[in-house]
Structure 1
């Protein structure tokens, strides 16, 4: 049997791997942060162009979500295609 040796990665390769992991994490989490921040915007702020990065946060959307009872009208339901 022969013995195999594993060499220690160089400092440059460790640094590059750390940089790649950091960039991947930022790219992956950025949409999630954007979605969560948009959920605290008002309706006009959420669709404004250019997008508002600094805004007055509000929980109005969550209050409406859990307190109002809206149901689709029969006419809206009739426009849906039949189930397959």
Structure 2
């Protein structure tokens, strides 16, 4: 059996999901439903965007907004004009 590991950020006791994709066995770090992709916080107040592909907590959304504003203002200074 060939084993091909892609770099994942797994630690020794991290829970994993195991599933089959065609002829591949895939190990993937388990993520709880409604886990914020920025902070890792799991809370009922978290909300999802992009048809459920992006889950954020309020803190995660604020951090993401700041990062986007900072990054875009450097790359596209004309966006700062009002």
Question: TM-score by structure 1 length?
Answer: 0.30
Q: Which structure's CA Rg is the greater one?
A: 1
Question: TM-score by structure 2 length?
Answer: 0.30
Write 1 or 2 for the structure with the bigger share of strand.
2
Write 1 or 2 for the structure with the bigger share of helix.
1
